[in-house]
Structure 1
Amino acid sequence: MPQSKAFVEKAGDDYGTTSEKALYSGPYTVTKWNGTSGNFTLVKNKYYWDAKDVKTKKVNVQTIKKPDTAVQMYKDGDLDTANISNTEATFKANKNRKDVVPVPEATTSYMVYNQTGTVTALNNLKVRQALNLATDRAGIVKAAIDTGSKAATALVPTGLEKLPDGTDLAKYVSPGYSYDKKEAAKLFKEGLAELGTDSVKLTITADSDAPVAKASVDYIKQTWEEALPGLKVEEKFVSFKQRLEDTKNQNFDVALVLWGGDYPEGSTFYGLFTTGSSYNYGKFSNADYDAAYQKAITTDALDPKAAADDYKAAEKALYDNALYNPIYFRSTKSLQNPDLKGLVRNSTGLSVDFTHAYKK
């Protein structure tokens, strides 16, 4: 976003820490925000280039920590929108209301495998393939995040990008992830034999401050151990901040992570796993994957269909080599005042755009 060099330098370390220590070039300015306040106000920016078409003068924003409190405030008329997907109870109680709207979100939950060599079993292809085949993605969604999310079919989530013919990129690149306990057990047994052992212990690291992560890991542990004789799964829950450090430093065996796209094009996801990428937490290197990704962002950068073919090839390399394990595409829903018009919700970038929003 454009910044005023003089203002930024004058504000120094305080820049952006309060509403007064920032400048605004969009349709609204921020007021009454001190850096930690739970309530603040967006006020129409009279200097905005298209101010004449900004209908709403003020938008009051509140941080409400308890999901059921927000829903009740909405029903009492104190809020114009409230997310219902933060807990399964609020989702099930409200999902069939007529004032429910989808909240697009290009976010994928997936598992990464430490392939640096410190976890011997995870450098074995058959072991990783067995783990992927023993993953009941639909079961995880039902058990842990049955609030509008869907079982993942690829790295890129549905709703990120549409191809020129209207096909969703996620559907186009999907290589055929499935849940097959019999084949998983067979491959796992073969992998253990190649390793010269009859048992393996793996620890799954996940975020302690995300209730859905705990439920997901519990379900994965149960189904993996049932499907794969000889596997023992330990659970490790740490703060989100600590998990980021652990994954960046390869201080894990298997980790459950999330990624949200920054813009509506495949590279915002496929850039994650290139050789040397800081987000390639497993630190694997695959020449076919790297080549496909590079072709998508260079030779085929201006041809969405050709780039999609490249991403399909990249996804196939991930799938064939079991280099990661997609879990679910996160999706949520909200209650929204029917009198609220013109509010734009985007799956990437500016998630909620009030520019042309107004109430009848």
Structure 2
Amino acid sequence: MKKIKQLLSLVLVSALSLGLISCGNVSTSSGNTSSGDPTQSESTDGATGQGADSLKVHIDVEVASMDPQIATDGTSFEVLAAVTEGLFSVDDAGSPIKALAENVEKSEDGLKYTITLKDAKWTNGTPVTANDFVFAWRRLVDPKVASEYAFIVGIAGIKNADDIAAGKMDLDQLGVTAKDDKTLEIELDTPVPFFESLMSFPSFLPVNEEFFNQCGDSFATSPDTILCNGPFKITSYEPAATTIELVKNEDYWDAGAVSLSGIKYQVIKDAQQTMLAYQNGDLDVATLSGEQVEQFQADSEFNNIMAGYLWYISPNQNVAGLENENLRKAIAMSFDKTAIVNNILKDGSIVADFAVPTLLATGPDGKDFREGSKTYLSYDKAKALEYFEKAKSELGKDSFAYTMIVEDTEAAQNVAQFIQAEIQTTLPGVTINLEVMPKKNRVERLQDGTFELGLTRWGPDYADPMTYLDMWTTDSSNNYGFWSNPDYDAVIQSAKKGELALDVEKRWEALKEAEGVVMDEAVIFPVYQKGNAVMIKSNVSGIEFHSVGINRVFKNTTKN
């Protein structure tokens, strides 16, 4: 997309005075059209509006997109949620709380929500309206947009979402209506118990239609083409930027609860450089990896946090050999996961012999999904060799060579190199080559199907096993390996909107069995569930960490 040129402040002032919306340099406070805020104290940075209490945060990958309906990765989601707010957000315990929703009425059958919006406005002074949600959600399911997250509207149960995404119905048939500027009506096909929690997910964030249309292809590519309505607003950003800067949004409806003057995200991929920046005071929050964890784990500023991300290898079953179940099982069981978490990562990550992580969701029995569930594809060199011998016989060949695509972060490369060596040692005749690239390119390759093996990850969007299991249905855009099982599809569909959806206990057991199908056929090769070793300066408090949805929330953070 092309980056739009910054409009002259005088033009914007004239446009705003006429009540128009401009895709250009946006107002940072009532009556102010410059990128700085004259109400900021003298201690702030005049160029960015950030002060001494601005939080300096480390990220290890670039923000891939600031378009709510296009973004797919956790880093982009985190920044999006800092500058844009939807109907709901979550509290520090991860439970849904009303954000832009002022009042919520739910029908007795759970099929209709009538939501009244708070008085809120975008950073150009335009009110946030019900139509901003209608426009955004229609765009999310529009086949022409081809959002990777179109499926999540169906997961939310919104009426006709799946048929619209499949091109079978028109956009205006989506079950969301702006009754007036302040009233949003949402119709569901089936009751969804986690609906309010799902509404905090960034794909459901609103977008101002007129602003979007005026921006065209440049939408969400620069501060001038991004409208904000959240705790912070963006002042410095471009695609693939290594620094993203936010300042407090004084026009945010709950601005009084926001203590930080801003957030400065810095992309640093090298672990040693990250810690040098932290020790030099250039970072307040930094994520450690490898040997650094042992070095700093006794430090008072060290924190160990379990995350929801599942790291796994996706085999492309359209590639010769990988369609063979025995070869997939051989590869999946050929590398030592315990050595990966204990000797390479050392950050609290745990071995993943499953497709649905721990600490994700609690069932009707009050127990975590993993409690009482089986484990699968555990490291076993002898069994891996048995499967390999079967695969060689079935495929009529003794040697195989595959390339595994890997993102360019230090941790991912270290893990990939270890897996490469393990597979080649355990399975003589198998050669694994590595191709390193930025995360955005790795994701694009997986989505395009132009790969053989891909070391990837998935973070849960909502607190239900379906956030993982739905990925491996035949038509899912996240089914990177192109596996297809009609019986599996039927179970997942029934658990979403069929007979199973009406019986929570049967649904829960069916989802456990569905996980078993995915694992028994080695649809993916699970590696580990991510733990985070995080350094946080002692004068910083109130960062909320979540294993589902937005992983870090800084609205209530303070820096003294």
TM-score bracket, shorter-length normalisation: 0.7 to 0.9
Give the counterpart of 1:181 among 369, 381, 396.
Answer: 381
Aligned to 1:232: 430
1:43 aligns with 2:248: yes
Q: Which ranges in structure 1 are unaligned for 5 or more consecutive residues?
A: none
CA 312–37 in structure 1, closer or farther in 2 if over 3 Å, else same: closer
Distance 1:179 1:160, change over 3 A: same
Identity over aligned residues, as a percent? 27
Change (3 A) 1:337 1:302: farther
* Residue 346 in structure 1 maps to residue 549 in structure 2: no
1:26 equivalent to 2:226? Answer: no
Which 5+ residue runs of structure 2 have no aligned equivalent? 1-204
Larger radius of gyration: 2
- 1:235 shift after superposition: 0.6
What is the CA deviation profile of residues 215-241 of structure 1, one whole-angstrom value per residue up to 9, with x for unaligned ones?
333333333333334x22131314245
* Match 1:83 to one of 259, 279, 287: 287
What amino acid sits opposite 1:270 in the alignment? Answer: L
- What is the aligned partner in structure 2 of residue 253 from structure 1? 452
Corresponding residue number in structure 2 for 1:11: 215
In the other structure, the counterpart of 1:331 is 531
Q: Which moved more, 1:175-184 or 1:74-83?
A: 74-83
Structure ranking higher in helix proportion: 1
Q: Is the 8 A contact 1:206 1:214 kept in 2?
A: no
Partner residue of 1:97? Answer: 299
CA RMSD in angstroms comes to 2.9
Residue 43 of structure 1, CA deviation? 0.8
Q: 1:254 to 1:47 in 2, by over 3 A?
A: closer
- TM-superposed CA distance for 1:206, in Å, is 1.8
Q: Rate the CA distance shift 1:226–1:72 in 2: closer, same or farther, 3 A.
A: closer
Which of the residues 393, 398, 417 maps onto 1:193? Answer: 393
How far off its partner does 1:30 sit? 2.8
Q: Distance in 1 between matches of 2:230 and 2:547?
A: 20
* Alpha-carbon contact 2:316-2:322 (below 8 Å) kept: yes
Per-residue CA deviation, residues 265-304 of structure 1 (Å, 9 max, x unaligned), is: 2222212111132322221211332223222222444766
CA separation in 1, counterparts of 2:505 and 2:299? 38
Alignment CA distance shift 1:201-1:346 (3 Å):
same
What amino acid does structure 1 have at the position aligned with 2:432? E
Given candidates 470, 479, 497, the residue that maps to 1:298 is 497
One-letter code aligned to 2:509: D
Distance apart, 1:209 and its partner CA: 1.6
**Do residues 146 (structure 1) and 346 (structure 2) align?**
yes
Pick which of 105-114 and 60-69 moved more: 60-69
- What's the CA shift for 1:55? 4.1
Report the CA distance shift for 1:14/1:152 in structure 2 as closer, same or farther (over 3 A): same
Amino acid at match of 1:196: G
CA shift at 1:39, angstroms?
5.2
User: In structure 1, how many angstroms separate the alpha carbons of the residues matched to 2:273 and 2:432?
Assistant: 35
1:289 partner amino acid: Y
The C-alpha deviation readout for 1:300-346, integer Å capped at 9, x for no partner, is: 44766544323211111012222221111122121123343322122
Instruction: Quote the Cα distance in structure 1 between the aligned partners of 2:355 and 2:517.
Output: 12
Q: Distance in 2 between matches of 1:214 and 1:287?
A: 36
Change (3 A) 1:46 1:304: farther
Residue 325 of structure 2, aligned match among 125, 134, 137: 125
* Superposed displacement of residue 111, structure 1: 1.6
SS in 1 for 2:322: helix
Take 1:154 and 1:13, find their aligned partners in 2: how far apart are those partners? 41
Are residues 68 and 217 of structure 1, via their aligned partners in 2, closer, same or farther at CA, if it must alter by over 3 Å? Answer: closer
- Aligned match of 2:259: 56
Q: Does 1:264 align with 2:463?
A: yes
Q: For CA contacts below 8 A with separation 6 or more, give which structure has more relative contact order.
A: 1
The normalised TM-score by structure 1 is 0.84
8 A contact 1:174–1:315 mirrored in 2: no
Q: CA, structure 1 residues 94+302, in 2 after alignment: closer, same or farther (shift >3 Å)?
A: farther
Distance 1:115 1:302 in 2: 34
Q: Deviations over 1:236-255 (max 9, x none)?
A: 31424554454344444333
Shift of 1:15: 2.9
Query: SS in structure 1 opposite 2:511?
Result: helix
Shift of residue 161, structure 1, vs aligned partner: 2.5
Aligned equivalents of 1:273 and 1:185: distance in 2? 27
181-190 vs 33-42, greater mean Cα deviation? 33-42
